[in-house]
Amino acid sequence: MNQPDAVVVGSGPNGLAAALTMARAGLRVQVFEGASVPGGGCRTAELTLPGFAHDVCSAVHPLALASPFFASLDLAAHGVRLLTPKVAVAHPLDGGRAGAVSGSVTETAGRLGADATAYQRLMEPLVRDAEPIVAMTLAPLRAVPDRPVAAARFGLQGLAPATVLARRLHTPEGRALLAGAASHSMRPLSAPLTGAFGLTFLMLAHTTGWPVVEGGSARLIAALAAEVTALGGEIVTDTWVERLDQLPAARAVLLDVTPRQLLTMAGGRLPAGYRRAMRRFRYGPGVCKVDWALDGPVPWHNEACREAGTVHVCGTLAEVAQCEADVSAGRHPDRPFCLIAQPCVVDPSRAPAGRHTLWGYCHVPAGSDVDMSERIEAQIERFAPGFRDRILARSVRTATDFERYNPSYVGGDIAAGAATLRQTIGRPVLRWNQYRTPLPGVYLCSGSTPPGGGVHGMCGLWAARTALRDLHIEVAPDDGPQVSVPWPGAG
C-alpha cells in the first residue's frame, strides 16, 4: 500500500480493533504482523492430530461477548457463532463434590447449600448492575462511570483480596468457585484487586456466560480481518517490525506490543523519564499449556464438570491460594491450579466424531521452561479417574515457548503485564491518557494498556479513538463504547 494514513503493528484482537476503528473513520490502514497468520492470542490450529482444532491461546470468550467493540461487529454475518455451555465453570473437590456456576444466581445458589444466601447477597447486586460494571471494567480508569453508586460498590468490594472476600462464603464449594475465578488475575489471592477478578468473572458467568467460538477462536479474527480488508485495509504478515523507522510514513502508528518491545522499537527516541517508567513496567508470571486430543470426553467424577465449558482444577481455596503464592515466589507447584476448557461440550466440530479436544494451562514463574504436563495431567486424573487412558496425543508449550511464539508474552505472561494495583491505575505508566506515547502520532494499543489482557479489543478501540481525536477526526458516537450485556443465563 502506498502511503497509508495509519499503520498498526501486530494483528492481535487489539491491533485489529485499532485497525478497524481507524478504517471505519475513513483512513487507509496497513497492519504489519510478524507471524505468518494474523490473530496473536486468538488463533486455532491442528496442534495434535489431523481433524483436531485447538485454540492455541484464548479459548473462552466472556470478554468478547461483553465487549462494546465486538458488539459493533455483525459476527453472525461472518458466520461466527459463540456457543455458551450450560455450566460456565465447575470447580471439583476431592470426594466427588464440585461447585458449579450455571444460569441465574438463584440457580447457582440453590446448589451451594449453606452458602445459598451468602452467594445471592454477594452476586445479585452485581448481576443487577452488570452493564455499568462491565462498562467501567472495560474502560480506562479516568472514564466517569455511568452509574457511580454501582461502580463504587463494585470497586470497594473488588479492591479486597480474594482471600478476604471469600470470608463471606463458608462452604468449600462456594469459596473454591471464588478462588478459581479470582486466579484469572494471575496474582497471589492475598493481593488487592484479586477480588475484582473473582467477582467480574462470576458476574459474567451469570450474564454473558463463558462461551467458546464454534470452530475455534480464529474465527473471531477472520471476521475482524474481513472487515478491515473490506474497508480497504491491508494486513501484511511475515513482517517483524524491529524499529519504528522501518515503518512507512503515516499520520498515526498504533503498536499492539508491550512496553519492552516499544523501548526496543523506538531506539533512543523516547524521553528518558518515559523510558524509565516503561522499564519499571512489571510482567506477570507465565503459563505452561497443554492441548490434548482425546478419544472421548474427560471422565469427570462430578456430573457438573462434564457439562462445564471451563473447569478449575486444584481443590480448595487454600490449595488454589498456595499455588498462586508459590508461583509468585518463583516456585513450580507440585499440584498446580489448572484452567481447563472443554470446547467439545458445546462444539463437536472441534474433533472427529466421538473424539474431543481439551485445552489447559497452569501458572508458572516468569520465564519458566518447565514442562508441567505430567503435573497437570495428575491434577485432572485426581478428579477424573481414567483421564490418562483417553489421551491420543498432546502438545505442550512452556512459558518460554510462548514468548518465542509471540514476543508480547514476555516471560510467558499471557496478559501483557501484571494486574497489580499500580498497573491498574497506570497501565503501562501513570498518565492521563495511557495510549499516547511521547512520540507524536505513536500510540500503544495492546493489553499493556487499559483495560488490560483478554480478547475484548477495547485497548485497540480506545487507542484508536485517542489517535482519531489527535487527528481532529470526529469519532462517530455509534462507535461505542456502549454496553448491552446479553442475559442468556439470567432467566
Ligand X SMILES: Cc1cc2nc3c(=O)[nH]c(=O)nc-3n(C[C@H](O)[C@H](O)[C@H](O)COP(=O)(O)OP(=O)(O)OC[C@H]3O[C@@H](n4cnc5c(N)ncnc54)[C@H](O)[C@@H]3O)c2cc1C
Contact between residue 186 and residue 322 where contact means Cβ atoms under 8 Å apart? no
- Angle (CA) 487 184 334, round 5°: 140
CA distance 188 to 326: 8
Listed ranges 27-35, 145-153, 155-163, 225-233: which one lies at the site for ligand X (CB under 6 A):
27-35
- Please identify which residue in 6, 7, 8, 42 interacts with ligand X, judged by CB under 6 A: 42
Report if residue 163 touches ligand X, rule: CB under 6 A: no
Which of 395, 47, 55 minimizes the C-alpha distance to 218? 55
Q: Is 194 in the site for ligand X (CB under 6 A)?
A: no
What's the full length of the chain, in residues? Answer: 491
Kindly indicate which of the ranges 29-37, 149-157, 388-396, 483-491 contains the residues binding ligand X, using the contact rule CB under 6 A: 29-37
Number of residues this chain uses to bind ligand X (CB under 6 A): 42
DSSP state of 366: T
CA–CA separation, 383 vs 361, rounded Å? 16
Residue 40 found at the interface with ligand X (CB under 6 A): yes
Would you state the cell numbers that stand for residue 232, as one nine-digit string? Answer: 480497504
Q: Which residues 211-270 are close enough to bind ligand X by CB under 6 A?
A: 240-241, 256-257, 261
C-alpha to C-alpha distance for 480 and 158, rounded to whole angstroms = 25
The neighbouring-strand residues paired with 7 are: 30, 253
Minimal distance in Å, beta carbon 159 to ligand X?
A: 23
- Single out the segment in contact with ligand X by CB under 6 A; choices: 12-20, 84-92, 164-172, 461-469: 12-20
**14 lies in the site for ligand X, by CB under 6 A:** yes
User: Given the complex with ligand X, which of 105 and 461 has the nearer CB atom?
Assistant: 461
Closest separation in Å from C-beta 131 to ligand X: 19
Say whether residue 33 binds ligand X (CB under 6 A): yes
Q: How far is the CB of 144 from ligand X (least distance, A)?
A: 25
201 makes contact with ligand X (CB under 6 A):
no
SS3 358: strand
CB atoms < 10 A from the CB of 227, how many? Answer: 20
Angle at 141 between CA 408 and CA 223, to 5 degrees: 50
CB atoms under 10 Å from CB of 324, counted, come to: 28
| Choice between 409 and 462, CB closer to ligand X | 409
Supply the minimum distance, in Å, between the C-beta of residue 109 and ligand X. Answer: 26
Q: Which of 13-21, 130-138, 330-338, 480-488 is the region at the interface with ligand X (rule: CB under 6 A)?
A: 13-21
- Is residue 18 at the binding interface for ligand X, with CB under 6 A as the rule? no
The H or E element containing residue 310 is strand 308-313
| Residue 32 binds to ligand X (criterion: CB under 6 A) | yes
Q: Residue 171: in which H helix or E strand, if any? A: none
Cell (9 digits) for 329: 515466589
Among the listed residues 30, 44, 58, 379, the single contact to ligand X using CB under 6 A: 58
Task: Find the part of the chain contacting ligand X (CB under 6 A) among 75-83, 97-105, 226-234, 453-461.
Answer: 453-461
User: How far is residue 368's CA from residue 480's CA, in Å, rounded to a whole number?
Assistant: 39
Rounded to a whole number of angstroms, the minimum distance from the CB of residue 299 to ligand X is 24
Q: Closer to ligand X at the Cβ: 245 or 478?
A: 245
The reply to whether 68 sits near ligand X by the rule CB under 6 A is: no
With respect to ligand X, which residue has the nearer C-beta, 292 or 361?
Answer: 361
CB of 39 to ligand X, least distance (A): 6
Which residue in 449, 431, 402 sits closest to 257, CA to CA?
A: 449
Considering only 163, 171, 379, 408, the residue that binds ligand X (CB under 6 A) is 408
Nearer to ligand X, 10 or 284 (CB): 10
Applying CB under 6 A, among 360, 454, 480, 489 the residue interacting with ligand X is 454
Does residue 82 belong to the site contacting ligand X (CB under 6 A)?
A: no
Residue 228, all three cell numbers: 478491515
Stretches 33-41, 74-82, 175-183, 318-326: which one binds ligand X (CB under 6 A)?
A: 33-41
**Can residue 11 be called a binding residue for ligand X (CB under 6 A)?**
yes
Q: Which three cell numbers stand for residue 178?
A: 471464588
The DSSP-derived string for 182-211 is HGGG-S-TTSTTHHHHHHHHHHHHHHT---
Please, what is the Cα angle at 257 between 253 and 263, to 5 degrees? 85
72 binds ligand X (CB under 6 A): no
Residue whose C-alpha cell is 499520520: 251
Q: How far is the CB of 449 from ligand X (least distance, A)?
A: 8
Are the C-beta atoms of 332 and 323 separated by less than 8 Å?
no
Residues 6+ apart with CB under 8 A from 240: 34
The C-alpha angle with vertex 220 and arms to 215 and 226, in degrees rounded to 5, equals: 115
User: Closer to ligand X at the Cβ: 14 or 21?
Assistant: 14
Interface positions with ligand X (CB under 6 A): 9-15, 32-35, 40-42, 57-61, 63, 240-241, 256-257, 261, 287, 289, 361, 402, 406-409, 414-416, 446-447, 453-455, 459
